[in-house]
Structure 1
Amino acid sequence: MHPNLYELSFLLLHLYFAAFICTTGASSPSLFDGNLELPGGSIPSVSLEHLDPTLPPALPTQTPHCSQVVLQHDFADTVGPKPASANYTHPSDCPFPWTRVVLELSVAATDLQESRVAAIWIDGAEVLRTVTPIPMARGAFWRVHKDVTRYTALLRRLADGGGVISMMLENSNKVLPGVFSANVSLHYFRGPVDDSGSKSMSNAAHLPLDPFTAIPRTSSSPSPSPTGNMDPDFGTPTAAKVSAPRANGAFRKVYATIDGKYVGGHVPFPVIYSSAINPVFWAPVASIGAFDMPSYDLDLTPFLALMLDGQPHEIGLGVCSALPHWLVNANLHLWVDYWSDAVQAGPVEYFVPAIQMNRNAEWRNPDGQSEIGAEGLERFAGWVSSSRGNLTTEVRHKIKVKSQVQVQNRGAVTQIDFILKERTMVTVMRGNQWLARAQTVMDAPLQVQTAIVNAAGVPVLQKTRFFHQLMEAVSLSEGQAGSTTTRELTDRQDAEGSAVVGGGWGSGRSRSSYQYRDGSKCYARNVATAGGAVIQDRKASCFAVADDA
């Protein structure tokens, strides 16, 4: 990687990776608010449309100026082949500039299939990673929308053709009758855009420095291997590697390096795979983050001094305390200062103490308990002298993780508790006065309880109760006397049900509650399901939310 670095004034690394939980869990006092109550009445037939009730405020509400399908493909037995690709050209009736670009992935399953991981690339830059649900009936379908405006510079570069849109949807080693038919579309908006609140909530704590240009560059191209994109140092997992001990239990951290120097990382939000725990839980409402898997921003501006010597540099990715097989990818966004003949930069602070880890375990096979706690605080700062003057960017990032597993009754009862807290603050200063500040606070508790039930002449059942929540608040401030905007969301799921051990049958019901607020604008949605069908779907505006409070 060797761009025109002397003009470089701002860097942002956008991390994509898969963090799945595939586990079981069970009874006893917990974070649950008593029994899970759902609306009464008759149960309708299984829903064909699978839903993701999150993030509608992040998308425009009006009709796009123009739209086009950029890729169509039927994915059947797709273990091994290269990703499906199509040449990209701009829509003739909708030239640049655009104020917003939204990607839409629509998929339909013709018959029985299993859940799979999929990804979409724009000319090698990954813009979406997603998980397919398990079709509960023939003709099941779903849609995923994602704001990809930050990649408009990449789309502009493809104006004269030559670029491609690619999609990989790995299938199964099994020969199953179902085929995933996928359409990828781009919707282009021009003029003022009513987005009902804001840009995407997740990972908003970076400060775009207009009028610099963001140039996304990717760390790798779509991989034809069955494992998808991953850190090449990890290689393909072997049976020996998969069975290796996990010394740090549930703690994982994905991080980036520049020439081997650590430059930041995140503990991943645990996304539940759509066949995990009890597949009926995720029919037809996806688990949190499954349709649009969380990605993470690392502000690398404090490290520009490492990059401005005119030499090639290596950006690396890694995972702490994990098995070798992880799907990891990143896009590098560069802001170029066209009003400076040269950009200078230097370091100010580099504080990365070791993460404090506490581990306790007491086991009397098979019962017992183990607990893992981790805390970390890191600070980076560096100055950049450009056409904006001499600015110092400071990044502060704090994490706290606690994981506990309890097994009782000769292995029949299990409870898993996981709590993740992160706080990130990015501040831009001129001298001793700060000009802009962005702060993101995230809290993500998870609990799974399971109990194995044995009865003579009756198949063994696993009864499960589940709780998962994402709470995130983002505040953006302009100067010490300037305005501050705050955006908050709470996304919660509760579920309970039973499944035959080994598969074959399951029942369950779930409740998904999503609330979003941005100043005077807000949105709420509550979806209740039972037996694979939606039995309640309520949406509310700010006024309705206030009336219910």
Structure 2
Amino acid sequence: MPTKPSMASFTLNPLLYLLPLLFLDPLFSQANLHNSKTLLRSSLFSQPSSTNETIPPALFFEVTKPIQVPHTNPCSLTVLQHDFGFTYGKSPVLANYNFPSDCPFQEFSKIVLEWNATCKGRQFDRIFGVWLSGVELLRSCTAEPRATGIFWTVKKDVTRYSSLLLSNKTQTFAVYLGNLVDKTYTGVYHVNVSLYFYPAVEKMDLFKEKRRNLGSGIDSEADLIIPFSRDLPLNDGLWYEIQNSNDVKVKKFQIPQNVYRAVLEVYVSFHENDEFWYGNLPNEYIAANNLTGYAGNGPFREVVVSLDGDVIGAVWPFTVVFTGGINPLLWRPISAIGSFDLPTYDIEITPFLGNLLDGKPHNLSFSVTNALNVWYIDANLHLWLDSKSEKTEGKLLQYDIVPLGVSSVLDFKGLNGTFITNTTRFISSTGWVTSSYGTVTTKATQDLSYSNTMVINGNLQIIDQVTHSNDSVNVNIPALNAISKKSLKRFLFYMYSDEIDQGNDTSLSVANVTLGFKEKKFNDADAGSPSSLLRNLQKGKGVMVVKDNLVVRGVASTQQSYNYHGGKFCYSRNVSSSNYTILYDEVGDTCNKRSKSCFLFGLRRWWPVPARRAFLASHVVDPNGN
């Protein structure tokens, strides 16, 4: 970021010098190995410190609700064990996968993938992916280790991939985690990947059973999954790499002739010059100030999915912050929302089956609006097959797309200014499919809106962003009530970041961050009350002292409020940490009782209040509370 004169009125709190050295690893997020210069990524390195063998490894975690599984013993399978040392630029680690032959059960209510990893030393955060027969099962980021070691676990419900996981043929299981180990970066990731198959012991809910048997495909797993990823062998992940806004990745495919429903699941992550796309500068500002080395193209990004050249869906991604992002101390041990299990995005393409059921190959393509290098994208096409028919037929009845609407206000003088970006997108498609279930008409709609306000004043940058994503699917079956589902999502991101010159080659780095993920789901799109509600809000604040490009001291704290209400199942967790230490952790699972919040600065509010430098500096304390 452009520099500014030191602030004589702001002096460094002497308590900072009483803080011990807090971490060993570099302070810029490196989810891949390529360096880039952005406003949110620094090139700072921490001073070495000795290892205290008496300190146990730290548990890192992402706050999320537990997976509901039946109270039975599952069949288990260890799929892969590997030590990821110098693996960057090498082939993914491969293993043969077979459904466990000694498992006595035939039907399963839940399948869970579990990733367990440990690491010790100094290492960047690394992006990684897990695939089975080219179908991605998990996209995640590693935790950044400390000298005394860390460990973490990721559990993901992978039941939707049942048709693949329960197949009786040998398949290729692949994990790519590009890591680098040398004299400086010593951390090796020791990984164990397992699957747990829970037998179906309870009768299906009558409401879900009715919906499943009506031919809508809703509330059931797909019969076939087609991957849209790169083919092995590779010396990289199986994802496609989008390098710029003109880069389009295309894959040819053909579907069976008896499909009656189709859903595209998209995996997305962003890196290098676009890791912090939501804070990228407008090109006009960069040109007017003759800046070099700063990420541009503004703060809006959109993943566009096209079928045979026509846009059929869009993804406006959640602002995942990797474990080394912005201020790494914020994410120890509480990881940022979505960093250990990156969200995926579903696009209903059933209305387009009339075009796809012609027995010919078709092209599916991916691009990213305003992209800089690099985006990792792949997708899984979930297909439902009519077991009683060799051929289904369909027709696209209506296709409405409102071109991307973008409005921007650029108000700057020199290096200081305010930038406002607003965008909207609407996509709607309707089509029918005739199968043994009869003629079923499906309407799918995406209604998206986005707003980003960015303020720059010298080294100070404030970002205030909100994204709304409203998706709905309506299925009409003759002589029966319509089936519908709706999802309303709201993504929040707020950041206050500043670097303050203290003289003597010393600076104070201040960051205040808010992440919010809210989703309402409706089993009936016209219902007044949602069938489930998730409110996940995270706030962090941190200060680092930097001298001669080395981190000398720092302090950071993170608070998170997670509340899920799903009717019969509810879960809440309020947790706070500071410099690896959990300050409090309250867990609740009662649906009719509101969980108590201990947050001291309004975590229950869905809109953050701008931080102040004086507040952050005057509240820095050492680990002993002095």
1:291 aligns to what SS in structure 2?
A: coil
Q: Which residue of 2 aligns with 1:382?
A: 431
Q: Quick one: which of 402, 410, 417 aligns to 1:353?
A: 402
Return the alpha-carbon distance in structure 1 between the equivalents of residues 403 and 474 of structure 2: 23
Return the alpha-carbon distance in structure 2 between the equivalents of residues 248 and 107 of structure 1: 37
Q: Quick one: which of 90, 105, 130 aligns to 1:81?
A: 90
Q: Map Cα deviations across residues 231-263 of structure 1 (whole Å, 9 max, x no partner).
A: 57569x999999898775121111222222211
> Letter of the aligned partner of 1:538 in structure 2?
E
> Letter of the aligned partner of 1:527 in structure 2?
V
Q: Map Cα deviations across residues 305-364 of structure 1 (whole Å, 9 max, x no partner).
A: 111111111222221221242100001111110112421100111111211100111222
Q: 1:306 to 1:489 in 2, by over 3 A?
A: same
Q: Which residue of 2 aligns with 1:367?
A: 416
> Which runs of 5 or more structure 1 residues have no equivalent in the other structure?
1-16, 26-43, 200-205
Q: Which residue of 2 aligns with 1:121?
A: 131
> Which runs of 5 or more structure 2 residues have no equivalent in the other structure?
1-30, 42-53, 209-214, 250-269, 276-291, 598-626
**2:580 counterpart of 1:532:** yes
Q: Quick one: which of 335, 339, 347 aligns to 1:290?
A: 339
Paired positions, count: 498
Q: Following superposition of structure 1 onto structure 2, how do residues 152-231 of structure 1 map, counting pairs within 5 Å?
A: 152-157=162-167, 159-161=168-170, 163-172=171-180, 175=183, 176-192=185-201, 208-209=217-218, 213-220=222-229, 221=231, 224-226=234-236, 229-231=239-241
Q: Which has the larger radius of gyration?
A: 2
Q: Map Cα deviations across residues 256-284 of structure 1 (whole Å, 9 max, x no partner).
A: 22222211111011100211111000001
Q: Quick one: which of 114, 123, 131 aligns to 1:104?
A: 114
Return the alpha-carbon distance in structure 2 between the equivalents of residues 348 and 313 of structure 1: 19
Q: Which residue of 1 aligns with 2:100?
A: 91
Return the alpha-carbon distance in structure 2 between the equivalents of residues 151 and 524 of structure 1: 27
TM (norm. structure 2) is 0.73
Q: 1:82 to 1:193 in 2, by over 3 A?
A: farther
Q: Quick one: which of 490, 494, 502 aligns to 2:535?
A: 490
- Contact kept? 2:274, 2:371, Cα under 8 Å: no
- Contact kept? 2:58, 2:580, Cα under 8 Å: no
- Contact kept? 1:368, 1:407, Cα under 8 Å: yes
**2:463 counterpart of 1:455:** no
Return the alpha-carbon distance in structure 2 between the equivalents of residues 240 and 489 of structure 1: 31
Q: Map Cα deviations across residues 497-528 of structure 1 (whole Å, 9 max, x no partner).
A: 11245553432011011000011431111111
Q: Following superposition of structure 1 onto structure 2, how do residues 211-360 of structure 1 map, counting pairs within 5 Å?
A: 213-220=222-229, 221=231, 224-226=234-236, 229-231=239-241, 233=247, 248-360=297-409
Q: Which residue of 2 aligns with 1:414?
A: 461
Q: Which residue of 2 aligns with 1:36?
A: none
Q: 1:193 to 1:247 in 2, by over 3 A?
A: farther
Q: Which residue of 1 aligns with 2:557?
A: 509
- Contact kept? 1:46, 1:532, Cα under 8 Å: no
Q: 1:348 to 1:68 in 2, by over 3 A?
A: same
- Contact kept? 2:569, 2:591, Cα under 8 Å: no
Deviation at 1:229, TM superposition (A): 1.4
> Letter of the aligned partner of 2:532 in structure 1?
R
Return the alpha-carbon distance in structure 2 between the equivalents of residues 353 and 399 of structure 1: 11
**2:155 counterpart of 1:145:** yes
Q: Map Cα deviations across residues 172-195 of structure 1 (whole Å, 9 max, x no partner).
A: 375522110010000000023699
- Contact kept? 2:160, 2:222, Cα under 8 Å: no
Q: 1:327 to 1:451 in 2, by over 3 A?
A: same
Return the alpha-carbon distance in structure 2 between the equivalents of residues 55 and 370 of structure 1: 37
Deviation at 1:99, TM superposition (A): 1.9
Deviation at 1:212, TM superposition (A): 8.2
Q: Map Cα deviations across residues 160-218 of structure 1 (whole Å, 9 max, x no partner).
A: 32x121111111375522110010000000023699xx99xxxxxx9635788521111
- Contact kept? 2:462, 2:494, Cα under 8 Å: yes
Return the alpha-carbon distance in structure 1 between the equivalents of residues 456 and 322 of structure 2: 23
Deviation at 1:230, TM superposition (A): 1.3
Q: 1:414 to 1:115 in 2, by over 3 A?
A: same
Return the alpha-carbon distance in structure 1 between the equivalents of residues 426 and 37 of structure 2: 26
Q: 1:164 to 1:450 in 2, by over 3 A?
A: same
2:69 aligns to what SS in structure 1?
A: coil
Return the alpha-carbon distance in structure 1 between the equivalents of residues 326 and 594 of structure 2: 35
Q: 1:241 to 1:253 in 2, by over 3 A?
A: closer
Return the alpha-carbon distance in structure 1 between the equivalents of residues 272 and 37 of structure 2: 20
Return the alpha-carbon distance in structure 2 between the equivalents of residues 301 and 511 of structure 1: 41
- Contact kept? 1:64, 1:187, Cα under 8 Å: no
Return the alpha-carbon distance in structure 2 between the equivalents of residues 63 and 309 of structure 1: 45
- Contact kept? 2:92, 2:236, Cα under 8 Å: no
Q: 1:475 to 1:156 in 2, by over 3 A?
A: same
Q: Quick one: which of 435, 439, 442 aligns to 2:482?
A: 435
Return the alpha-carbon distance in structure 1 between the equivalents of residues 192 and 334 of structure 2: 21
Return the alpha-carbon distance in structure 1 between the equivalents of residues 575 and 203 of structure 2: 25
- Contact kept? 2:129, 2:175, Cα under 8 Å: yes
Return the alpha-carbon distance in structure 1 between the equivalents of residues 484 and 578 of structure 2: 44
Return the alpha-carbon distance in structure 2 between the equivalents of residues 239 and 93 of structure 1: 45
Return the alpha-carbon distance in structure 1 between the equivalents of residues 37 and 354 of structure 2: 39
Q: Which residue of 1 aligns with 2:144?
A: 134
**2:59 counterpart of 1:49:** yes
Greater relative contact order (CA < 8 Å, ≥ 6 in sequence): 1
Percent identical: 27
> Letter of the aligned partner of 2:577 in structure 1?
T
